[in-house]
Amino acid sequence: MKLAHLRYFKHLASVMSYTKAAKDLFIAQPTLSAAIIRMEQELGFSLFNRSEGVASRIELTTQGKIYLEYVTRTLETYDEGIRLAEQSVAISENTMRLGTLYSMKGQFWSQAMSEFVAQYEKRPLLHMEQAYSGELARQLKEGKIDVAFAAQTKYASDLNMTLVWEQPLVVCVNKAHALAQKESVTLDDLKHYRLMTYGKDSSVSRGLDELFAGKEDEFDLIRNFDDEITLSSFVSVNPENVSLLVYSFLVNSFDDVVCLPIEGVSEDFHKVYLMSRKEPHSQLVSDFISFMSSHPFPKLSIHKTPLAHLSSSKQLADRIWIKSFL
């Protein structure tokens, strides 16, 4: 049964006149009559009672009244679906759902986002979701987000991936801690301290597992934390605490925190990828992928100025990290 015929029937039932209904629908009256007859043949029952000798006088049959109720619901549902779908297209063309790691914060991340948004006369709507890499990859595959910044995980198979960001693994201590006097530390140096670091679900967990493989029992590791701010704050408030984390620019907000490179650990310890599904994207998402894939995110190198050379808290804050943008 044609959708147009349902609309013909609904309108005819509302005006109870073939002449008026045909005029309102911009069709010939014989076309309307033929459509109703065809419907009645397909349904197997009459929709209207027609008065003998009065062609324009009609009324719904009992079956017609019941059928009209369901046709009305069907057409309303169909029209609402079309409206919402069209609205969704309009929204999706100017909306992007972005997933990021907890560590994707700070000056250069914000700057990159601002530069991207500034390209558009009509400001795009960006919905942010923060989670671990595995969860981000899962949401990406399920279509819940459009693009993600995440570390490589087993869940990231069959996704497009472009390396955009690298973070070194560092040890963070309070400036009053004994290790703060050192230029760098070794893993053996850390055996004497309780180390607070990321939980098993973190994107950094895989690298930590490899780093401590076969010797985790030699260290006192507390693997319960989500992000760099939390790990740094524990060091800031208690000089005895030691944190093992990947560097984030947010660490610079703690004047009393000293970050030390770990000898023998690569500065690209933690790699962050721009991930997307292998399928066509909206123009906004395609533009974002292209922009971020070529954006010159800084690569960090670690240099430490001895504490004895510092005379102010500002110098201490500046000392924590001297960043080389390569």
Model confidence band, residue 325 (pLDDT cutoffs 50, 70, 90)? very low
Threshold 0.85, pTM exceeds: no
The rounded distance, in Å, linking the Cα atoms of 4 and 20 is 17
3-91 maps to which CATH number? 1.10.10.10
Winning range, highest mean pLDDT, from 22-26, 146-150, 307-311 = 146-150
Decide whether 94-160+274-294 matches 169-265+299-320 in CATH topology: yes
Give domain limits for the chain.
3-91, 94-160+274-294, 169-265+299-320
Burial of residue 3 (number of CB atoms within 10 Å: 0-12, 13-18, 19+): exposed
Q: Is the dihedral of CA 282, 283, 287, 290 positive or negative?
A: positive
**Residue 168 pLDDT > 80, yes or no?**
yes
Model confidence band, residue 73 (pLDDT cutoffs 50, 70, 90)? very high
User: Edge-to-edge strands of the sheet including 242-246?
Assistant: 220-225, 194-198, 242-246, 169-174, 257-261
- Residue carrying structure tokens 């981000």: 136
Model confidence band, residue 318 (pLDDT cutoffs 50, 70, 90)? very low
- Report the pLDDT value the prediction gives residue 55, as an integer from 0 to 100: 52
**Which one is predicted more confidently, 196 or 326?**
196
Residues 6+ apart with CB under 8 A from 29: 18, 19, 22
Residues 6+ apart with CB under 8 A from 163: 271, 272, 273
- Report the pLDDT value the prediction gives residue 311, as an integer from 0 to 100: 35
3-state secondary structure of 242: strand
- Please state, for a pLDDT cut of 70, what percent of the chain lies above it: 83
- Please state, for a pLDDT cut of 90, what percent of the chain lies above it: 38
94-160+274-294 maps to which CATH number? 3.40.190.10
CATH topology of domain 169-265+299-320: D-Maltodextrin-Binding Protein; domain 2 (3.40.190)
Residue 98's beta-bridge partner residues?
A: 128, 147
**Residue 92 pLDDT > 60, yes or no?**
yes
**Amino acid in the structure at residue 138:** R
Burial of residue 311 (number of CB atoms within 10 Å: 0-12, 13-18, 19+): exposed
- Report the pLDDT value the prediction gives residue 301, as an integer from 0 to 100: 54
Dump pLDDT digits (tens) for 290-307: 999 988 876 655 544 333
Dump pLDDT digits (tens) for 105-140: 655 677 888 899 999 888 888 888 888 788 888 889
**Residue 68 pLDDT > 70, yes or no?**
yes
Distances (CA, A) of 209 to 129, 194, 266: 26, 17, 15
